[in-house]
Chain A
Amino acid sequence: MMAGLGTLLGDYTVQNVLLGAVFLGIVSGVLGSFAVLRQQSLLGDALAHAALPGVCLGFLIAGARSLPWILAGALATGVLAALTMLLLIRRSRLKTDAGLGIVLSLFFAAGVVLLTYIQGQPNAAQGGLDTFLFGQAAATLRSDLYLMGGITAAALTLVAALWKELKLVTFDPQFAGAIGLPVTVLEVVLTAMIALAVVVGLQMVGVVLMTAMVIAPAAAARQWVKRLGAMVALAAALGVAAGATGSLVSASGANLATGPLIVLTASALVLGSLLLAPGRGLAWAQLRRWRERRAIGERQVLATLYRLAAAHYDPAYPTELGTLDTLYGGTPRRALRRLERRGLIAPVAHMPHEEGPHWELTEAGRRAAERTLEGNSGGAG
C-alpha cells in the first residue's frame, strides 16, 4: 500500500496534478471563505461560467492551446461578467440572484457558441479545448504550475495584507464605509481575486464544477470554527485535502476523472461537517432535541407520581402502572426504568401480585419532583 502510494508520488504527471490540486485547494478555500460569508457563493459560479468565452478568445488570439493566454482571457471575461452583474444590480431593479442568472447564462452561451465555432475550424491545435468544461487535470504541465502557484501566492499575500479591511468589509460594510474604508474598491478586489481562483481551477475541475470548489471547503470549514482566521485556514486545508484525495484516487488506476473526484470529495467534507460539527451539526442538534424530550418525559412521570402521592396524603403512595398507562396513552416504561436506575423511584414489592406492578417515589425522587414543580429544571436533568 505504502509502496503503491510511493510509486504514485514518484510519477511526474501525478506530481503535477497533485501540486495543481493543492494550489487550487488553497486559493479556493481562502477566497471562498469570503465569498460564502458575504453570501455571494454563486458569484464563483457566474465567474466560472463566464470564463468559457474568455478561454475561447484566448485560444483564438494565441492561435494555440497556450495556457497563459487562455487564463488571461478567462480572467478578462470573468471580471467583465462581474462588472456587468454589479451594474445590473445597482442600476436596474433586478435582485442579485436574477442578475447572477442572466450574466451566467449569457456569458456561458457565448462561450459555447465560440467553442463550437473553434471546433468547426480546420485547426489541429483546437483539440481538447472542451476539456475546460469539466477540466483535465492530467494535462497539467510544470509550466502551468508556475502560473497557478504564482496566482495562489499573490492572492494569499493580498489577503494577508488587507486582512482586517477585508474582514470588516465582509462583516459590516456600512461601518467600514463610515470609518473611511474604500468599500467598493475592496469589494472589487475580492471579486477579482475570486475570478483569479476560478482561473486556477479551470484546468483542474473546469468551468461547470468550479463553483463547488469556491463554496464547499468554506462551507465545511464554517461548521467547525469560531474565528475568521481559523475558518480561512481550515477551508484552505480542506480544499487541499479534497484536491489531493481526488487527484490521488484518480491517479491510482481507476481511470476516473480528476476534477469531478475532487468536487465529490469536497462535497463529502461538506456533508460530514453539516452533520457532525460540534454545536452546529445537525446530528448534534438532533441528539440535543432527543435528550431534552427524554428529560421532559422523565420529569412528567416524576411530577405525576408526586401529585398522586400528595393527593392521597401518602408520601409512599404506590402508583399503579395502569394509571400511568391511561394518563400517557402508553406505558412510559423506559422513563420509569431510567428513573429507577437513578434511584428516584422504586418498585413496590409488597403489593399482592394480582394488582400488577406499582411504583413509589424515593426520598431523592420526592426532592427532585419538588424542585421540578417549583420550576427548577435541575430536578430531572
Chain B
Amino acid sequence: MAETPLHEPGLALHIEDLTVAYQGAPVLWDIDLDIPPGVMAAVVGPNGAGKSTLLKAVLGLVRPSAGHVYLLGRRPRRMLKRIGYVPQRSAVDWDFPTTVLDVVMMGRYGQLGWLRRPGRETRERARAALAQVGMERLAGRQIGELSGGQQQRVFLARAMIQQPDIYFLDEPMAGVDATTERTVVDLLQRERDAGKTVIAVHHDLQTVHDYFDWLALLNVRIIAQGPVAEVYTPENLHKAYGGQIPLFEGGRKARGQRAAGAGRAPEGAEP
C-alpha cells in the first residue's frame, strides 16, 4: 500500500469532469459519475448519447479531452486485471477462424502475460465458464456458426474467466433471444450478489426496473444518477430523451405490453 494514495476507494467507479470530443464535437460533456461497489448499474440514454464512448473512456480505449477516472480508488491502467469487459457483439468479425473455447480463453491473456501460452488450467476455467452460460456442449464449435445470443454468452464467459471485480458490458442484451437475456441477467445478478460491481450500457428502458438497482441517465451530460427507484422518473426520462419517446411518457410500462416491446428482436433477426 505504499503506492500513490487512493482516490475515493469507496467507489467502484468515480469519474470527475470527463469530456470526450471527436473532431471538435463533444460526445461526453463534463461527466461526474459515482457508482458504489456491489450494485448492478445501467447506463441508459438515447442513441448518440455517448454511452459506449463512456465505457471506452473508462477503459482507456478512447482518450478524453479532460477529466479523471478512478476504479476502486485507482487509475484504470492499474486495474486492468480486475476489469471484465464485454464489447458489443458487432465489434468483431464472427467469421474469424476460431472456436468457442478459444475465444473464452482469450479472457486470461492479460493474466498470462507475454510469451506464455494458455495451458490446461486456462482451458478448464474456460470450460467451467462455458458451463455457467449453458454452452459447454458448444466448446468446439466454430464461432461463425453461433446465433446472436450464443455469441453474447461466449463474450460473457470470456469476461467471467478474468474473475473481475468490476464488469463493464456494452449493450449485453441487444438483439439476443429471451433465454440468453435471462441467462445473462441471472449470472450478472449472481456476480453482484457476490460483491462484484456490474456496469452495463443498456438500451431497453422497460427492463431497467427489473434488472438493475442503479441507474445513470446519460445524454452527452449526466442527466441523473442514483438508485433506480429515485432516478427512474418521468421528468428525468423526459430530460434524457427530450420527449422523443412518447412510449415512456407515463414512466414504466405494464408487463403485458412489454412482451411486444421494441428493442427485443428475436434471435437471428439482427444482421
Chain A residues in the interface with B (C-beta under 8 A):
37, 39, 93, 161, 163-165, 167-168, 170-172, 174-181, 222, 225-228, 230-231
* Closest CB in chain A relative to B58 CB, distance in Å: 10
Of the candidates A168, A178, A181, A227, the one whose C-beta lies within 8 Å of that of B59 is A178
Chain B interface size band reads 20 to 34
A179 engages B99 (CB within 8 Å): no
A177 engages B61 (CB within 8 Å): yes
Which of B40-48, B89-97, B126-134, B259-267 contacts the other chain?
B89-97
> In the complex, what distance in Å separates the CA atom of A93 from the CA atom of B22?
11
Residue of A nearest to B110 (CB): A179
A175 engages B80 (CB within 8 Å): no
A170 engages B96 (CB within 8 Å): yes
B241 at the interface (CB under 8 A from A): no
Number of A-B residue pairs, CB cutoff 8 Å, is 77
Interchain Cβ contacts under 8 Å between A and B, 19 examples: A37-B97, A164-B109, A164-B112, A164-B118, A165-B109, A167-B106, A168-B106, A170-B96, A171-B92, A171-B98, A172-B87, A174-B91, A178-B60, A178-B87, A179-B162, A225-B97, A226-B142, A227-B98, A228-B97
> In the complex, what distance in Å separates the CA atom of A248 from the CA atom of B62?
51
Q: Given contacts A37-B93, A174-B87, are A180 and B110 in contact (CB under 8 A)?
A: yes
Q: What are the interface flags for B35-60 relative to A under an 8 Å C-beta threshold, 1 for contact and 0 otherwise?
A: 00000000000000000000010011
Chain A residues, Cβ within 8 Å of B23: 93
> In the complex, what distance in Å separates the CA atom of A230 from the CA atom of B117?
17
> In the complex, what distance in Å separates the CA atom of A24 from the CA atom of B23?
42
Chain B residues, Cβ within 8 Å of A37: 93, 96-97
Residue of A nearest to B111 (CB): A179
Q: Given contacts A165-B109, A179-B109, are A174 and B61 in contact (CB under 8 A)?
A: yes
B92 engages A172 (CB within 8 Å): yes
B71 at the interface (CB under 8 A from A): no
> In the complex, what distance in Å separates the CA atom of A152 from the CA atom of B80?
35
* Closest CB in chain A relative to B162 CB, distance in Å: 7
Q: What are the interface flags for B101-122 relative to A under an 8 Å C-beta threshold, 1 for contact and 0 otherwise?
A: 0110010011010110110000
| 9 further contact pairs, Cβ within 8 A, besides A175-B106, A181-B110 | A37-B93, A168-B106, A171-B98, A174-B61, A175-B87, A178-B59, A226-B97, A226-B142, A228-B96
> In the complex, what distance in Å separates the CA atom of A39 from the CA atom of B93?
10
B239 at the interface (CB under 8 A from A): no
B200 at the interface (CB under 8 A from A): no
A180 engages B96 (CB within 8 Å): no
Q: Given contacts A164-B112, A165-B109, A174-B61, are A227 and B87 in contact (CB under 8 A)?
A: no
Query: CB within 8 Å of A: which of B152-169?
Result: 158, 162, 168
* Closest CB in chain B relative to A229 CB, distance in Å: 9
Chain B residues, Cβ within 8 Å of A225: 97
Chain A residues, Cβ within 8 Å of B110: 179-181
Residue of A nearest to B115 (CB): A161
Residue of B nearest to A37 (CB): B96
Chain A residues, Cβ within 8 Å of B114: 165
B106 engages A180 (CB within 8 Å): no
Chain B residues, Cβ within 8 Å of A227: 97-99, 102
Chain A residues, Cβ within 8 Å of B112: 164
Chain A residues, Cβ within 8 Å of B59: 177-178
> In the complex, what distance in Å separates the CA atom of A348 from the CA atom of B175?
54
Chain B residues, Cβ within 8 Å of A230: 97
Of the candidates A172, A178, A226, the one whose C-beta lies within 8 Å of that of B99 is A226
B182 at the interface (CB under 8 A from A): no
Chain B residues, Cβ within 8 Å of A171: 92-93, 96, 98, 103, 106
* Closest CB in chain A relative to B156 CB, distance in Å: 12
Chain B residues, Cβ within 8 Å of A228: 96-98
Chain B residues, Cβ within 8 Å of A177: 59-61
Residue of B nearest to A183 (CB): B61
B174 at the interface (CB under 8 A from A): no
Chain A residues, Cβ within 8 Å of B142: 226
* Closest CB in chain A relative to B221 CB, distance in Å: 25
> In the complex, what distance in Å separates the CA atom of A226 from the CA atom of B56?
31
Q: Given contacts A161-B115, A180-B80, A180-B110, are A175 and B85 in contact (CB under 8 A)?
A: yes
Residue of B nearest to A179 (CB): B110
* Closest CB in chain B relative to A90 CB, distance in Å: 11
Q: What are the interface flags for B72-84 relative to A under an 8 Å C-beta threshold, 1 for contact and 0 otherwise?
A: 0000010011010
> In the complex, what distance in Å separates the CA atom of A10 from the CA atom of B168?
63
Chain B residues, Cβ within 8 Å of A165: 109, 114
Chain A residues, Cβ within 8 Å of B103: 171
Chain A residues, Cβ within 8 Å of B77: 180
> In the complex, what distance in Å separates the CA atom of A39 from the CA atom of B92?
11
> In the complex, what distance in Å separates the CA atom of A232 from the CA atom of B61?
29
Residue of A nearest to B103 (CB): A171
* Closest CB in chain A relative to B119 CB, distance in Å: 12
> In the complex, what distance in Å separates the CA atom of A322 from the CA atom of B102?
59
Chain A residues, Cβ within 8 Å of B117: 163-164
> In the complex, what distance in Å separates the CA atom of A50 from the CA atom of B91?
31
Chain A residues, Cβ within 8 Å of B60: 177-178
> In the complex, what distance in Å separates the CA atom of A165 from the CA atom of B115?
9
Residue of A nearest to B52 (CB): A174
Residue of A nearest to B94 (CB): A171
* Closest CB in chain B relative to A73 CB, distance in Å: 32
